[in-house]
């Protein structure tokens, strides 16, 4: 087994980089312990990946750096990076299968992006209305 595992996760404009090392089960997001990370919805979303992994999380320390996007996208990018790193650490097909059955976005990034605006228009889709007066 390698000493450290580096993974990344993306969601919208948020990018999370996770570093997993053998340790005592300390999880930090942007140098902040997961227990004090806010908002609560984001914390519980991130903890889903840890709870599904079980006792493996008590054997590793995970440091996640997240930037860009909003709080929701950041939490989803962080959970993706954490889940990927745990699967890489355990090399377990069972854990991978558990993650995919629970929610495929724990291992597979959501690649949808917003559509750029068209030239001479403020919106990406609906064209300007035409007036013949």
Q: Which domain holds residue 63?
A: 5-106
- Domain assignment present for residue 126? The answer is no
- Domain assignment present for residue 48? The answer is yes
Q: Residue 70 sits in a domain of what CATH number?
A: 3.30.230.10
- Domain assignment present for residue 115? The answer is no
**CA–CA distance, 3 with 59 (Å, rounded to integer):** 12
- Domain assignment present for residue 130? The answer is no
- In the chain, how many domains are there? 1
pLDDT of residue 126: 83
pLDDT of residue 2: 56
Closest to 95 measured CA to CA, from 58, 59, 126, 51: 51
pLDDT of residue 121: 80
DSSP 3-state of 56: helix
- pLDDT tens over the chain, length 133 residues: 558 999 999 999 999 999 999 999 999 999 999 999 988 999 999 999 999 998 999 999 999 999 999 999 999 999 999 999 999 999 999 999 999 999 999 999 999 888 898 888 888 888 777 889 8
- Domain assignment present for residue 13? The answer is yes
- Domain assignment present for residue 124? The answer is no
Secondary-structure breakdown of the chain: helix, strand, coil percentages, each rounded to the nearest 5:
40, 25, 35
């Amino acid at each position: 087994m390698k000493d450290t595992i580096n993974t990344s996760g993306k969601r919208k404009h948020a990018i999370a980089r996770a570093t997993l090392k053998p340790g005592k089960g300390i999880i930090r997001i942007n140098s902040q312990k997961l227990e004090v990370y806010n908002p609560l919805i984001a914390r519980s979303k991130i903890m889903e990946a840890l709870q599904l992994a079980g006792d493996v999380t008590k054997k590793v320390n995970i440091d996640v750096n997240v930037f860009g996007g909003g709080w929701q996208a950041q939490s989803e990018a962080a959970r993706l990076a954490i889940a990927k790193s745990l699967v890489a650490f355990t090399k377990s097909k069972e854990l991978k299968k558990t993650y995919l059955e629970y929610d495929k976005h724990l291992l597979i990034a959501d690649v949808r992006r917003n559509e750029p605006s068209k030239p001479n228009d403020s919106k990406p889709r609906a064209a300007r209305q035409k007036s013949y007066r």
